Structure 1
Amino acid sequence: MKNLASLDKLFDSIKTSFWFVPLLMVITSIFSAWLMVWIDHAQAWGKLDWLPFLYETEQSTLLSLLNTIAASMITVTSIAFSITIVTLTLASSQFGPRLIRNFMDDRGTQVVLGTFISIFSYCVVLIYSMSLDSNQDIIMGLAIIWCLLATLFSVFVLIYFIHHVSRSIQADNVINELCDEINHSLEPLFCAETTPKLGKEARKTFSYTLPIFADQSGYLQLLSNDKLLEIASKYDLFIEFKWRPGHLINEGAELATLKSLKPIQDELSSLVNQSCVIGSNRTPIQDPEYAIHQMVEIAVRALSPGVNDPYTAITCVDKLCVVLCNISKQELHSGEYYGQDGILRLRRNPYDFEGVANSAFDQIRQYSVSSVAVSIRLVESLYRIASATDKPDIHSVILRQLVAIEQGKEHVQYTEQDSEDFTKSVLKVKNLLKTTSFQS
């Protein structure tokens, strides 16, 4: 049985491709052309008196019109592909090569490319049909009307495409879309935990254990909880998974450990390996830290001497601050999953606030040492996060980041005014931590 993790990976690969949506539209256009020709051939609609020129025009004129439309569509298609490639090149150089995936996931661009190609395909099928001997005496009235309407529609699609591309390469829009992706990837971490229905305590001792080793190297992309719970419940096991999506796994490394009160079958190793997808690159499907790293990459590139764009870096810090404020108010999943019988069946490596916060702030903090504005905004973000929650563990993370920012400032010479502004921001955070009695 194909596991759900592999299906999710396949769906993501299709969703982030430039061929699937255009291919569906081309198939639809070919079917539409066949349908229109069949209707005209059967004369189901008869001659439309209010459009006599379509039924009185010579076949050679209609063929010339279709040839012109087809040539125009293939030309516009090549231009659209060229613009798309230029956009991907700019995105790669300005925001980072990993952001290309987000641009390829843009449904608007996929539909635009599919529109032009499908109209071209429609014209080609119609030209072929009109050239058949059986259709020499048939005027393709409805088919031509549909083609003209589609061509008129393509003009508006081209205008939309130019506007859409212009917006898609703006830094603020890219950051906003990436922030939405981060929030979406974090949603599963906030789901209510599956508590034991029967109130049974987790077993602490087992008679048999079986280590499961990875059968290939790469990044863990997807992990099917449902499949693992099914295996654990069927064979009365407890599965302790040592990795989480985003981690790099070497072939032969211990992937998980199976524990049971009775002997464990060796063939379960292949079943557990099939429940996870290991690939050559990371994806944000079950890996929220990867989406955060994409945001961090934009900020780090903006802070590089070649770009020198602190405003973009500040925007990234603000968005990450909002994300961390939301996380600080939530209870993250413990990584423990129970079967239908209420017994603990699966334990995964869980996410915590410290790991997510370090992923968001560490690299930006390291590269923003010489940028006063970004450093101050980082401190202000820590204040906002500290204000959003009174949890001691989160305040400890905030204090760690604050001390690291202060240590970085010691290696850079600020002006008197800049140093004063920086100190005020730091003291503001420290006073808040003192007030809540969580500062060590």
Structure 2
Amino acid sequence: MTRIRNILVRIRGQLWILPALMCVGALLLAYLMLSPALGFEYLVEAELWWLFSGDAGTARDLLSTLLSGMMTMTSLVVSMTFITLTLAANQLGPRLIWNFIEDRQIQAVLGLFLATIFYIVVVLRSIDDTLGPQNVPHLAITTATVLTLVCLFSLLFYVHKVSRAIIADTVVERVADALQQSLDDLLSNEEKPAAEHSVADLPAHVCWISIGKAGYIQTIDYGQLVHVAKKHDIVLRVTARAGHFLLHSGKHVEVLSCHAVEEDLSGKIRPAFIIGQERNAAQDLEYSFRQLVEVALRALSSGIKDPFTVIAVVDHLGKALELLLMKAPQEPNIYDDEGQLRVIASLSDAEGLVEASFNQIRQSASDQPAILIHIADTLRRLAEAVDTTRVQDVLLQQLDGLAQSAEGLAFRHDREETFRRIAAARKFVRRS
């Protein structure tokens, strides 16, 4: 399932796949409409008002006009896409372009325009002046007209879609939804009791294994690692996790065993690691957290200074952390079907995700009292809503950092108000 999830994430990020499938569908539709074996003569004989009833010359002229118009509209759509991607990269960060590319509605509109062009070209090349009135594909030409009209309405929808796509609040909402989906997919609602294993219980260190490939870890197939460890009766300690960048060599997997291991063991362990050139959300919990943080940091930059976007990001980070704390923590010890410890994983924990959420925002907003106050209020609401015992220490550290930042505020009223909100949040965090 880990590999399948990674494949689906990568497929979703390809802008061309859905349009290509729609173009294939357009070719099949054109074949259907032009096939004499299916016979649509009864529609012509019925003399329906909406059905094209001209001769071959008129049909060619109409299809040529439709094709020219569709080429113009498609050029407009492609130009709008490039402009939108440029604006999004400048205002929100280049890594957030993937949220635009992965949008199924945008892919569908682009696919519709390309599919309509494919359809018109196929129908147009089947018509020549030697066709008699009874051999003109009236229904195929009518379908081309209908598809063109649908593209006109789709163009209006596309303009609305791309206009909203570069609004910061829309991007924040989309990234937050993706983060919530990742939390639902990767974390369980039920806490699994795990046996305690002390360091003394573990086998002795045998060797270190490097992955042998540089790049970001996208997914780790822990099931395959368990299978290898069980087969060789060893324990594997993985020191890296999804989202980490690896060099070709290094101490990535520690082999623990009471006996000698085979020399080709690394060749069986390395395929469990899928390495790519960028991070994705397939198994990386920090990915969407850091995307939200990037939006906030862009909004705090000297050229933008948009505190309202930062406040929206802090709200969604609080919502995500609430969901995270309601889930059971990830268990790093992975056992085989016989209950034997086989893999010790390095996983993202709640404390690290809290720090990843607020550290950089707090540091960049040290002169913004409104943002410091909002972070303190968010931490207070978080402590009110869920049991924050797991992250109590790191929440108190965040509040201490906010207090240190507040000491540098220029206006006394801002300092006092910020300290008051921090004290209120600290009271609820300690009570949890």
| 1:241-272, Cα deviation, whole Å (9 max, x unpaired) | 11110111111112212334444222231221
| 1:251-301, Cα deviation, whole Å (9 max, x unpaired) | 111221233444422223122111111122211221121211111111111
| CA 1:356–1:52: 2 relative to 1, 3 Å | closer
Task: Find the partner of 1:418 among 409, 414, 419.
Answer: 414
Contact 1:5–1:277 (CA under 8 A) maintained in structure 2 = no
More deviation in 363-372 or 275-284?
275-284
Q: How far apart are 1:218 and its partner, in Å?
A: 1.4
Report the residue type matching 2:362 in the other structure: R
Give the whole-Å Cα distance in 2 for the aligned partners of 1:83 and 1:41. Answer: 40
Contact 1:73–1:120 (CA under 8 A) maintained in structure 2 = yes
Partner residue, 1:242: 239
Report the residue type matching 2:417 in the other structure: D
Partner residue, 2:16: 19
* Structure 1: gaps spanning 5 or more residues: none
Task: Find the partner of 1:350 among 347, 351, 354.
Answer: 347
Q: How does 1:121-160 map to 2 (within 5 A)?
A: 121-131=118-128, 138-160=135-157
Q: How does 1:357-376 map to 2 (within 5 A)?
A: 357-376=354-373
| CA 1:169–1:205: 2 relative to 1, 3 Å | closer
Q: How does 1:65-214 map to 2 (within 5 A)?
A: 65-131=62-128, 138-187=135-184, 188-190=186-188, 192=190, 204-206=201-203, 209-214=206-211
Give the whole-Å Cα distance in 2 for the aligned partners of 1:133 and 1:201. Answer: 85
| 1:369-417, Cα deviation, whole Å (9 max, x unpaired) | 111100110111121122234444422111101111111222332x232
Q: How far apart are 1:324 and its partner, in Å?
A: 1.4
More deviation in 150-159 or 200-209?
200-209
| 1:115-147, Cα deviation, whole Å (9 max, x unpaired) | 011001101011112249789962102211221
Give the whole-Å Cα distance in 1 for the aligned partners of 2:272 and 2:42. Answer: 55
Helix, strand or coil at the partner of 1:166: helix
Aligned length: 430
- TM normalised by structure 2 equals 0.92
Give the whole-Å Cα distance in 2 for the aligned partners of 1:396 and 1:208. Answer: 33
Contact 1:210–1:264 (CA under 8 A) maintained in structure 2 = no
CA RMSD for the aligned pairs? 2.5
Q: How does 1:315-394 map to 2 (within 5 A)?
A: 315-394=312-391
Instruction: Work out whether 1:307 is the aligned partner of 2:304.
Output: yes
Contact 1:214–1:255 (CA under 8 A) maintained in structure 2 = yes
Report the residue type matching 1:350 in the other structure: L
Contact 2:409–2:415 (CA under 8 A) maintained in structure 1 = no
Give the whole-Å Cα distance in 2 for the aligned partners of 1:110 and 1:343. Answer: 47
| CA 1:210–1:419: 2 relative to 1, 3 Å | closer
More deviation in 375-384 or 130-139?
130-139
More deviation in 218-227 or 254-263?
254-263
Give the whole-Å Cα distance in 1 for the aligned partners of 2:416 and 2:329. Answer: 38
- Seq. identity, %: 30
Contact 2:237–2:255 (CA under 8 A) maintained in structure 1 = yes
Helix, strand or coil at the partner of 2:313: helix
Partner residue, 1:225: 222
Helix, strand or coil at the partner of 1:370: coil
Q: How far apart are 1:348 and its partner, in Å?
A: 0.6
Report the residue type matching 1:190 in the other structure: S
Contact 1:22–1:115 (CA under 8 A) maintained in structure 2 = yes
Report the residue type matching 1:120 in the other structure: I
| CA 1:122–1:205: 2 relative to 1, 3 Å | same
| CA 1:128–1:160: 2 relative to 1, 3 Å | same
Give the whole-Å Cα distance in 2 for the aligned partners of 1:40 and 1:135. Answer: 18
Contact 1:191–1:333 (CA under 8 A) maintained in structure 2 = no
| 1:224-251, Cα deviation, whole Å (9 max, x unpaired) | 1222223233333322211110111111
Task: Find the partner of 1:270 among 263, 267, 270.
Answer: 267
| CA 1:132–1:256: 2 relative to 1, 3 Å | farther
| CA 1:49–1:87: 2 relative to 1, 3 Å | same
* Structure 2: gaps spanning 5 or more residues: none
Q: How far apart are 1:45 and its partner, in Å?
A: 4.7
More deviation in 400-409 or 161-170?
161-170
Give the whole-Å Cα distance in 1 for the aligned partners of 2:96 and 2:398. Answer: 27
